Amino acid sequence: MLELSGVEVVYHSVVLVLKGISLNVPQGSIVALLGPNGAGKTTTLRALTGLLDIHEGRITKGQILWQGQNIASQKAESIVASGIAQVMEGRRIFPELSVEENLFAGASGRPKKDALSDMEKFYARFAILGQRRKQMAGYLSGGEQQMLAIARALMAKPKLLLLDEPSLGLAPKIVAQVGELIQEVNKEGVSILLVEQNASLALDLASYAYVMESGKIVLDGSSQELKDDKDVQEFYLGVGTKQSSYRDVKLYRRRKRWLS
């Protein structure tokens, strides 16, 4: 359904940040993209949604096939119209607009009647959003804002939803609720590419995962394979010694072997 192959991204014409990313999101699946700060996860999503140019970035190599078409040089609006929606890092809702206005903003281009009936569905699912539909969204809690951000993206009726660290800064109980919502959305037929630093959440939700470091995919496999992987356990799932990077883990293991 979505297929990136050999994608390279350069910022400001000089900084090579993605060094040949290849990954797939099959129809109907949840795929996770893991990796530490600065690995290039958000950049990968920007490449997918046509949002690189506003950050002075450019795809210099590779292609992005979405439903058989190369969208690597398409504009953000036409990518959204083709069925890809994104929830950006840091819950970018409009704090000064009401909950209802935020939801409407996500539905641009759709008939008002359909948008209204979808809104009622969200209010039924999240009573709190319904109760506060006329209130400023900035007054919602962090978790409620994340739910609103996801609901707003869904108002565009996407086929593929890109989520950039939806669990960031949320309490464990709220993280679990966001996880449930992601699962529900997927059951309704929306494919999901989930960027996360919370590896245990991501591996519980996704069927397949990629681990990215310094602009490259360093590891990929089914979620179960990654959960069983000693390096992933050590670094990403916090089992045993914590190392500063996946490569350090490799080095550390090699050194340990060499010393013994």
Which residues in 81-100 contact Mg ion (CB under 5 A)? 89
The Cα 73–Cα 47 span in angstroms is: 9
Cα separation, 237 vs 92, whole angstroms: 28
Measured in whole angstroms, the distance separating CA 5 from the mean position of its chain's CA atoms is 18
Q: Decide whether 89 or 225 has the Cβ nearer to Mg ion.
A: 89
Distances (CA, A) of 29 to 25, 41, 92, 149, 209: 7, 19, 25, 21, 11
The least distance separating ligand ATP from the CB of residue 92, rounded to whole angstroms, comes to: 13
> Which of Mg ion, ligand ATP, none does residue 38 bind (CB under 5 to 8 Å by kind)?
ligand ATP
Kindly give the pairing relationship between strand 191-196 and strand 2-11. Answer: unpaired
Nearer to ligand ATP, 107 or 212 (CB): 212
Binding track over 36-55 against Mg ion, x by CB under 5 A: -----xx-------------
In DSSP notation, 123-149 reads HHH-HHHHHTTTSBGGGS-HHHHHHHH
Whichever of 192 and 195 has its CB closer to ligand ATP, that residue is 195
Closest distance between Mg ion and the C-beta of residue 100, in Å? 29
Residues that bind ligand ATP (CB under 6 A): 11-12, 15, 17, 35, 37-43, 55-57, 89, 197
- Please report whether residue 198 would count as binding Mg ion according to CB under 5 A: no
Encoded tokens for 107: 């539905």
Question: Site for Mg ion (CB under 5 A): how many residues?
Answer: 3
What's the closest the beta carbon of residue 256 comes to Mg ion, in angstroms? 32
Q: Kindly report the backbone phi and psi dihedral angles of residue 199, in degrees, each rounded to the nearest multiple of 5, phi listed first.
A: -65, -35
Give me 233's structure tokens: 């356990």
Could you tell which of ligand ATP, Mg ion, none binds residue 43, using a CB distance below 5 to 8 A set by kind? ligand ATP
Question: Which CB sits closer to Mg ion, 89 or 229?
Answer: 89
Contact footprint for Mg ion (CB under 5 A) = 41-42, 89
